[in-house]
């Protein structure tokens, strides 16, 4: 695996998640994530592996075409920070792999918390030393579930799988993205309310 700046998965730089594995299992049950979804998510990871750059082009095109989203990668005066966008892009590509191929164990759970902190004022900008706005607002964390889910389907269908397999991969992806974003929202929630 290539080295990605700021990618600290499985290292001591990542603090333990305040969400327990038992709570993660309850969240998985709530989004109806099953072992079968896990298998289809692995399949999705295989399908998406060599399409990551194209996927990121779509997602970055979406963000770049909406000034209110691009704002979170600017210096506050509206000037996009190309180095910051590039660094985050590398980790976003790795997130696709991690979402699909990694076991949802303590290491994965801890890294979801690290990602959460990097969206929140607790750690935003620190990883890359960026001089950007201090917070990604909660509303866009949740709203981003749909475009990340809707835009992935053509990529899942690109390798000749049956309609049923594509649908099952897409549903597994949707559940996994929802689960991730729930975990990323933890720092935004008042203590005791998550």
Give the torsion through C-alpha atoms of 191, 71, 114, 187, to 10 deg.
0
Residues 9, 54: Cα–Cα separation, whole Å: 24
Mean pLDDT, range 3-8, rounded to an integer: 96
Average confidence score pLDDT of the chain: 97
pLDDT at 76: 78
Query: Is 183 within a domain?
Result: yes
Mean pLDDT, range 54-75, rounded to an integer: 97
Query: Is 120 within a domain?
Result: yes
Query: Is 12 within a domain?
Result: no
Mean pLDDT, range 77-81, rounded to an integer: 94
Query: Is 138 within a domain?
Result: yes
Mean pLDDT, range 114-142, rounded to an integer: 97
CB 53 within 8 A of CB 93: yes
Query: Is 56 within a domain?
Result: yes
Query: Is 49 within a domain?
Result: yes
pLDDT at 1: 60
- In this predicted structure, the answer to whether residue 60 has a pLDDT above a threshold of 80 is yes
User: Which sign does the torsion angle of CA 102, 105, 106, 109 carry?
Assistant: positive
CB 145 within 8 A of CB 178: yes
pTM of this prediction? Answer: 0.96
Give the torsion through C-alpha atoms of 148, 21, 2, 121, to 10 deg.
60
Q: Residue 92: pLDDT band by 50, 70, 90 thresholds?
A: very high
- In this predicted structure, the answer to whether residue 108 has a pLDDT above a threshold of 80 is yes
Contacts of 59 (CB under 8 A, 6+ apart): 92, 147, 148, 151
Mean pLDDT, range 176-186, rounded to an integer: 98
The tokens for 53 are: 């750059």
Mean pLDDT, range 127-143, rounded to an integer: 97
Mean pLDDT, range 58-72, rounded to an integer: 97
| Domain, as residue range, for 160 | 21-188
Structural domains of the chain, count: 1
pLDDT at 69: 97
Mean pLDDT, range 121-128, rounded to an integer: 97
Of 182, 166, 171, nearest to 149 (Cα)? Answer: 171
Residues 167, 83: Cα–Cα separation, whole Å: 36
Query: Is 13 within a domain?
Result: no
pLDDT at 32: 98
pLDDT at 2: 80
Query: Is 41 within a domain?
Result: yes
Residues 78, 70: Cα–Cα separation, whole Å: 8
Q: What is the CATH number of the domain that holds 129?
A: 1.10.490.10
pLDDT higher at 78 or 143: 143
């Amino acid at each position: 695996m290539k080295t990605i700046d700021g990618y600290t998965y499985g290292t001591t730089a990542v603090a333990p998640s305040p969400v327990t594995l038992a709570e993660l299992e309850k969240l998985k049950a709530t989004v109806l994530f099953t072992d079968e979804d896990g298998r289809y998510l692995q399949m999705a990871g295989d399908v998406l592996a060599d399409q990551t750059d194209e996927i990121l082009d779509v997602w970055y095109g979406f963000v770049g075409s909406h000034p209110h989203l691009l704002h979170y990668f600017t210096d506050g005066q509206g000037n996009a920070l190309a180095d910051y966008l590039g660094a985050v892009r590398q980790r976003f590509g790795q997130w696709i792999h991690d979402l699909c191929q990694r076991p949802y164990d303590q290491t994965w759970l801890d890294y979801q918390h690290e990602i959460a902190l990097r969206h929140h004022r607790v750690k935003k900008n620190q990883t890359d030393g960026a001089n950007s706005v201090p917070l990604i607002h909660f509303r866009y964390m949740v709203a981003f579930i749909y475009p990340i889910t809707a835009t992935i389907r053509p990529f899942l269908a690109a390798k000749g799988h049956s309609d049923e397999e594509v649908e099952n991969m897409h549903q597994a992806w949707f559940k996994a993205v929802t689960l991730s974003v729930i975990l990323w929202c933890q720092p935004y929630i008042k203590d005791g309310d998550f």
